[in-house]
Chain A
Amino acid sequence: MSDIEFRHAVRDALDEELARDESVIFFGEDIAAAGGVFAVTTGLYEKHGPDRVFDTAISELAISGAAFGSAVAGLRPVVEVMFGDFLLLALDSLINQSAKYWYLSNEQASVPLVLRSAVGGGGRFGAIHSQMPITWLLGVPGIKIVCPSTPGDAKALLKAAIRDDNPVVFLEHKRLYSIKGPVTEEVAEIGKASVVREGSDVTIVSAMKGVHDCLAAAEILAAQGVQAEVIDLRTLRPLDTDTVLTSTKKTNRILVVEEGPETGGWAGEILACVVDQALEHLDDAWRLATPDRPVPYSPPLEDAFYPDAQKIADSVLGRMTQGEPLIAGAAR
């Protein structure tokens, strides 16, 4: 089992599902002949042909709308919206048609579509090519949100997403495309988090690129004698609260690290859950997210914008040496 790049893991999942199930089709902007702007989908068009893998115009609403209709009518469309920022143009069909359909139709038919999109910052792409679209989607019942952090998960979760009978938004962090890791033939289960490092002193929860930052922070903390348990959420809707609660009850402290605006994100959602269901176990609970502002371009501004390993470790150490606050957020 050799290590492959995240982008190739995504491509392999698409390739294998296209080969396995002829109801799978794939379309989007510049994804076919050109192989995608992040070189993720190279070769699929050549291998699976222009009927099943095709380029579209710059028409995000048509893309999401066509995905909806074709999914109801028996296909399993996978579509790409190049950057998460462009999702906004696709959201009407996704939210008002796809997300509602199963319920509204009284469960006559579901909408098995996958919408892939490249998200996240840190690449100096500025305010309109760096956003995390999750807060726009989190409050929409009926859409699954999958957010892998490793090549192995990218492949296993994308295969699961394609086989899932519901609309799934599959988010790929731009800063992860070139990382390498092992992949398997496994099809993962959507909605399951995993403990990627065990520890007893504090639970740190994150997703996508944040998981790597948290693992690096855990190393820094270990050198200071603090054992952090790190959880990779892998899916943001539905949230695997069991895994988070079990860990929090063990460590009594939870930090959630979210790349995305602090207000309205999933970090707040997780904190609400632990306060609701594990208050008596909590010595501390807090979050690190990005400021409630657009993503800046200038390197020093962008660097300061994101939580990184050192900031995460400093935050944990700061909170743990401050005495023990009684309730979530009290010491902020």
Chain B
Amino acid sequence: MRVAYWPGCVSRGFTPELHGSMEAVAPLLGLELVPLDRAACCGAGVIAEHNQELADTLNARTFALAQQVDGAELMMNICSTCQGAQSECQERLDANSAYRARVNATLDDAEPGLRYEKGLTNKNLLWLLVEELGLDALRAKVRRPLTNLRVGPFYGCYIVRPRARLGIDAEHPRDRYLHQVIETLGGTVIDYAGTYKCCGFPIVTMNKTASLRQAGTHLGDATDAEADCLVVPCPLCHLNLDLQQPQAAKVVGRPLAMPVLHLPQLLGLALGLEPKQLGMSKHVVKPTAVIDWSAAVVAAPAPA
């Protein structure tokens, strides 16, 4: 499957292991990634906070670029925040033709011929796994089931709320997909309080204590629930949960050593890649230091 691939900024900035691991697992999933390397930042909600039309126009440009990718069935992102921020812009763009025309006029002005047509499909990797690839197909690709690995799903905010905008309903229980994927990969889902909560990243510069308290609390809850690791579909969550983990530990006053995996890393492990190939040594809380991937939790690769 060929997709217009939007990696986002952070996956190529502070969490390069995310982009790297995505590129590593894509072939195993049968995904052909056509990177949208001409597109600009989604704005992460912050540009919209500054000027809504600006965010809408920048994302309309990204959407238009995605629509130009030959043979791509849809646009895929690997960042919840991109998903949420882009869905919000798309909601406005798709809702009103006059507004769309206005934004398209700006696009055309900036880059003659560029134009967004209403109705783009933009899915996070997580949605794509369940809805396009299918869990059965995914299961069939598992080479090293994550037996005995206790995984805490951490969705973050942008990919589960608001439900209506993100198309979450009984038919598309997108707020259960992370659970489903973990199970499909053979892991055990851990029930803990933080699953749908906020990592705290958006206020890290405004109210650092509150921000880190959020991260620390969730990490602590997951620890209490005896999780081996968390998995996140969002690199910004990763920053607060992993990069800032030592500081979060200070704020909540308890030692923390909870590995936090990006979704493609978890996939990669189950599909037979090595931790190192997936950039897991780049984490602050090195999953390799906390979990013995070779024997304890992950079965040996099944013969091909």
A binds B: no
Residues of A bordering B, CB below 8 Å:
none
